[in-house]
Amino acid sequence: MIADCYVNTSVKLLILKGIFVLFLLVGCASQAPVVRPDLDFVAKGKLGVKLGDKGYSASFSWQQFAAGYAIDVWGPLGQGRTKLRGNAASMRVIRGDEVLAEGPPELVMQTHLGWSVPLDVLPAWISGRSDTDSTIEGAVYDPMQRLIEFQQANWHVSFSRFHDAGPDARPGRIVARSGVKKVTVLVRQFTQ
């Protein structure tokens, strides 16, 4: 009798938890996203960094603003979620509510994440173009006049898997190489 009461109570609690989660998900889904007027783009996808024989990969959500960026990176199943907040001059690495590091972006990433990406030019590359503040060399275009290969800021860059047709198409895959470093960005979602 006591065991039956315990089972009934456990089942009721499980059902109540399920209903709570359902209401929570419905409530989150119905909220409109906050739109900021200085937002350049939001990109989501996967990032891979290879340094010789070492490799790192993460999922990312990137918000690019006129004055900086807010990038979240995480491993499989959301593990190790890390926030990168900053601009061209300075970055903060945040895990939870704790600021782990602050300083020059590439140095901070290399020191605290074990890898770095060229954040000064990567926003332009994600948008499907070269960075206007850096010289471009060896530009190659496909028959649709889409930029598919070039060198910039000591990186050899290639674009592929375009989401759209025409010269303003955005690449779904960006591969950049510099020495023994290779950065691959797969953009699954992009909104401007």
Are residues 2 and 51 located together in one domain of the fold?
A: no
Residues 149 and 95 in one domain: yes
Nearest by Cα to 44 from 58, 29, 28, 60: 60
**β-pair partners for 45:** 60, 187
pLDDT reported for residue 31: 42
| Structural domain boundaries, residue 113 | 39-191
pLDDT tens, position by position, 143-165 = 989 999 999 999 999 999 998 77
Are 89 and 183 contained in the same domain? yes
pLDDT band at 14; cut points 50, 70, 90: very low
For residue 104, what are the CA distances in angstroms to 87, 98, 108, 123, 153? 9, 18, 6, 17, 17
Q: What is the pLDDT of residue 62?
A: 95
Q: Are residues 97 and 187 in the same domain?
A: yes
| CA 143 – CA 162 distance, rounded (Å) | 13
- What percent of the chain lies above the pLDDT cut of 90? 57
150 and 169 housed in the same domain: yes
Closest CA to 41 of 106, 118, 128: 128
At residue 52, the pLDDT reads 86
Shared domain for 76 and 166, answered yes or no, is yes
Q: Average of pLDDT values for 81-94?
A: 93
Same domain (yes/no): 19, 61: no
Residue that the structure tokens 């503040």 belong to: 133
Question: pTM of the predicted model, to two decimals?
Answer: 0.76
Which CATH number covers residue 79? 2.50.20.10
Q: Is the pLDDT of residue 26 over 50?
A: no
Q: Provide mean pLDDT across the span 60-77.
A: 93
Residues 8 and 95 in one domain: no
| Residue where the block lists tokens 């926030």 | 83
Clarify whether residues 129 and 172 are in a common domain: yes
Q: Which of 18-32, 94-108, 125-139 has the lowest mean pLDDT?
A: 18-32
Name which residue leads in pLDDT, 113 or 85: 85
